Homo-oligomer: A and B are copies of this chain.
């Protein structure tokens, strides 16, 4: 936790973005903590608890709530989902979109960001639902684009197993091509005169089919929903593999990082920014939000005691079940103390790379690897935590994804103890920022920048019905 301690002190300080990261399930960034005493009355199916949480985050200065997701169970460990069920790891897991919509009704400013894979929903219906949610929330929607990595998820949608990694990204490219066309080109600006005298609610000359025919999807259109405040939701991406970074460099406005330390974050940030520039975008078009969790004490010693108490609740078998799914290797069937053999790992290779880049000397065995897949904890007094966040900021990080460790109510502690210090130092905003989520996160306006590939698409016109290739 202290690797980057002194390095960047005195570096430029700047306001960070704050996201609260959880799932519509048992908090499981650290497996086993559902048994922690603070989790006793937690019920992810209870809307009142979610309303309370959302209003706490909004009042507490958070920019958004982020609900991660996956569309299948973790059944790699011992070849079944038993341990995942026992520890509530990724199952049960509710749908983030309907929860965020409910929270839109009881908040005014909070950004509403969720993960949806290009596997689980057909692009026409997805685009329509997201446009509706963007309307209803006044333009507060963000989408974390993932391609999925679980065989069980693939088998929930008719495939025998997940597509090969690069083919998943090809499918994701095509999926984006479809939804961009629906969001950006199907309805021109000014297509909705709502002119009662002329009898013209929508102007047919300005509403276009997309007539998309690809390798994975055929979609006629037009989009069923008129342009929402942001048209395209704010685009997030979290992959750290080579294909994932290339994808982020083309499409993402915000990248979620899980670097081990500020130096690791810098490497990742520079890599993606260079790729983005090669795609006709600019370095500043992409912002980076680092996942961290916090253990807060009135003294450093108290914080360290708290961490030790939390660690007592970790489920080691739960960790193995979680990591087995993410690595694509059954950690119940290998010698945990053997050296890591990367050839055995089918899963999230970018994650392994991130870990080994950040802490090469610490990850020798499978056991080390399993235990290091957790994102970094920041342990200390509020002032020490603020110091650490200045280090991350100095390394180029634009924001923090605060994780729900040990439970959702970690956000309440963060708001009560850390936020005032951050605000005093200018690391966190004090005032609501008006406008859409894109604007709240630092965008110049409600819409994607002109140089984003989605904005370079051309509408199908009645006369030509020709489509321009994406990008």
Give me the interface of A with B, judged by CB distance under 8 Å: 24, 26, 32, 34-35, 40, 45, 47, 50-51, 71-73, 80-82, 85-88, 91-95, 97-99, 101-106, 120-122, 124-125, 128-129, 131-133, 135-138, 152, 155-158, 192, 196, 199-204, 207, 217-222, 224-226, 228, 315
**A94 partner residues in chain B, CB cutoff 8 A:** 128, 131-132, 135-136, 224-225
Residue contacts A-B, CB under 8 angstroms, 24 given: A32-B199, A45-B135, A45-B226, A45-B228, A47-B105, A71-B124, A71-B224, A80-B204, A85-B202, A88-B201, A91-B207, A94-B128, A94-B131, A97-B129, A102-B136, A105-B106, A122-B122, A122-B158, A155-B219, A156-B220, A156-B221, A157-B219, A158-B218, A158-B219
Cβ-defined contact, A155 with B222, below 8 A: no
User: Once bound together, how far apart are the Cα atoms of A315 and B196, in whole Å?
Assistant: 11
**A71 partner residues in chain B, CB cutoff 8 A:** 124-125, 128, 224
**A45 partner residues in chain B, CB cutoff 8 A:** 135-136, 226, 228
| Shortest Cβ-Cβ A-B pairs, 9 listed | A88-B201, A155-B220, A45-B135, A94-B132, A82-B204, A35-B196, A98-B101, A95-B132, A102-B105
Which residue of the partner chain B has the closest CB to A205? B82
**A224 partner residues in chain B, CB cutoff 8 A:** 71-73, 91-94
User: Once bound together, how far apart are the Cα atoms of A85 and B85, in whole Å?
Assistant: 49
A162 to chain B: closest CB distance in Å? 12
Cβ-defined contact, B92 with A226, below 8 A: yes
Question: Within the complex, which residue of B34, B85, B105 is in contact with A207, where a contact is CB–CB below 8 Å?
Answer: B85
Beyond A73-B224, A155-B220, 13 additional contacts (C-beta under 8 Å) are A34-B201, A45-B135, A51-B105, A88-B201, A94-B128, A98-B101, A101-B102, A102-B105, A125-B157, A152-B220, A155-B218, A156-B221, A158-B219
A233 to chain B: closest CB distance in Å? 13
Cβ-defined contact, B124 with A156, below 8 A: yes
**A34 partner residues in chain B, CB cutoff 8 A:** 196, 201
Question: Within the complex, which residue of B201, B220, B221 is in contact with A87, where a contact is CB–CB below 8 Å?
Answer: B201
**A87 partner residues in chain B, CB cutoff 8 A:** 199, 201
Question: Within the complex, which residue of B95, B138, B222, B228 is in contact with A73, where a contact is CB–CB below 8 Å?
Answer: B222
Which residue of the partner chain B has the closest CB to A83? B204
A34 to chain B: closest CB distance in Å? 6
**A104 partner residues in chain B, CB cutoff 8 A:** 47, 102
User: Once bound together, how far apart are the Cα atoms of A345 and B91, in whole Å?
Assistant: 48
Which residue of the partner chain B has the closest CB to A96? B132
A78 to chain B: closest CB distance in Å? 11
Which residue of the partner chain B has the closest CB to A44? B135
**A35 partner residues in chain B, CB cutoff 8 A:** 196, 199
Most-contacted residue by chain B among A72, A136, A138, A157 (CB, 10 A):
A136
A375 to chain B: closest CB distance in Å? 22
A127 to chain B: closest CB distance in Å? 10
A309 to chain B: closest CB distance in Å? 15
Which residue of the partner chain B has the closest CB to A103? B105
**A204 partner residues in chain B, CB cutoff 8 A:** 80-82, 85-86
Cβ-defined contact, B132 with A125, below 8 A: no
